[in-house]
Amino acid sequence: MPQLIEKRRSLNKEIDVQLKEKKELEARLSRLQALANIGTLTAMVAHEINNILMPLGNYANVALQNPNDKELTEKALKKTVFNSGRASEILESILSIVNGESAEKRACRLKQLIDTVFSCIGRDFEKDCIKLKMNVPEELDISVVPVQMQQVLMNFIINAREAMIPGGGSLIINAHKEQDSVTIEIADTGSGITAENMEKIFEPFFSTKTPQSPAARAGSGLGLLFCKEIVESHAGTIEVESKPKQGTKFIIMLPA
């Protein structure tokens, strides 16, 4: 009997030690997870800032090369000012996330967010033979962190454009509100996505774009991951429908 009690005591001790080790491991894991998140976030931000900086350099060049064309120079400089403002806005929102402040959601006109994205991308879609068909009610409000939702829309729109180069096509943006949700559809008539790739498109660093591909730029493979993170942080969902060589439709659902 005393032997049994002794055994039980030592077993209990062992359990205590194991529990303590488990707690320590869990704490370490959560610290490592936080570090991993920072790594992903850094890569994502670099991707976004790059999206903004690339056209910014082009605008500055246009201004430099056409000093006598006042109108063109002014337009290029306005876009430069706008893009640099957006870059610092993004960095500020990241700083607020890192500092633990929650970026604030507010009611925004979806149509205005989309218009801002188009003025930001700068490049004329008509030049790439891409027709824009937009059906978004002027007064449709969504409750979002504006700078984050702009990045989401921008990623989808840039992906759609790149899927239609060369050859052109149509970019179709529709949105409507139902009782408790808002649906935004961004569709293109571009290259489409194969069933095999469909499973990977939201994975970090998955990209089919190389400098040799028609879009002529290497993809970072972070755009869609970034979209997913942001939409889910707004309690929304993303669905995809695609047929190779016919086109792709991304459906974003947000709570109203």
3-state DSSP call for residue 77? Answer: helix
Per-residue binding string, ligand ADP, 144-183, x by CB under 6 A, is -----------x---xx--x--------------------
Q: Is 48 in the site for ligand ADP (CB under 6 A)?
A: no
| Two tokens, residue 134 | 């937009």
How far the first Cα of the chain sits from its last, in Å, is 67
The pairs formed by 81-89 with CB atoms below 8 angstroms and a separation of 24 or more are 82/119, 82/120, 83/52, 83/53, 83/55, 83/56, 83/59, 83/120, 83/122, 84/52, 84/56, 86/52, 86/120, 86/147, 86/150, 87/49, 87/52, 87/53, 87/56, 89/147
Span from 51-59, 79-87, 116-124, 157-165 in contact with Mg ion (CB under 5 A): 157-165
CA distance 142 to 228: 17
Q: In the chain, what is the greatest distance between 2 CA atoms, to the nearest angstrom? A: 102
Among 108, 144, 171, 193, indicate the residue that binds ligand ADP (CB under 6 A). 193
Span from 13-21, 34-42, 136-144, 216-224 in contact with Mg ion (CB under 5 A): 216-224
Smallest distance, ligand ADP to C-beta of residue 192, A: 6
Among 159, 191, 242, 248, indicate the residue that binds Mg ion (CB under 5 A). 159
| Cβ-based nearer residue to Mg ion, 62 or 225 | 225
Smallest distance, ligand ADP to C-beta of residue 215, A: 8
| Cβ-based nearer residue to Mg ion, 150 or 159 | 159
Q: Is 148 in the site for Mg ion (CB under 5 A)?
A: no
Q: Is 221 in the site for Mg ion (CB under 5 A)?
A: no
| Cβ-based nearer residue to ligand ADP, 88 or 197 | 197
Whether residue 156 contacts residue 186, with contact meaning beta carbons closer than 8 Å, is answered with yes
| Cβ-based nearer residue to ligand ADP, 44 or 63 | 44
Span from 3-11, 71-79, 175-183, 216-224 in contact with ligand ADP (CB under 6 A): 216-224
3-state DSSP call for residue 188? Answer: strand
Residue type at position 133: K
3-state DSSP call for residue 115? Answer: helix
Binding site for Mg ion (CB under 5 A): 159, 223
Which residues sit at the interface with ligand ADP, rule CB under 6 A? 155, 159-160, 163, 188, 190-193, 197, 201, 206-209, 219-225, 248
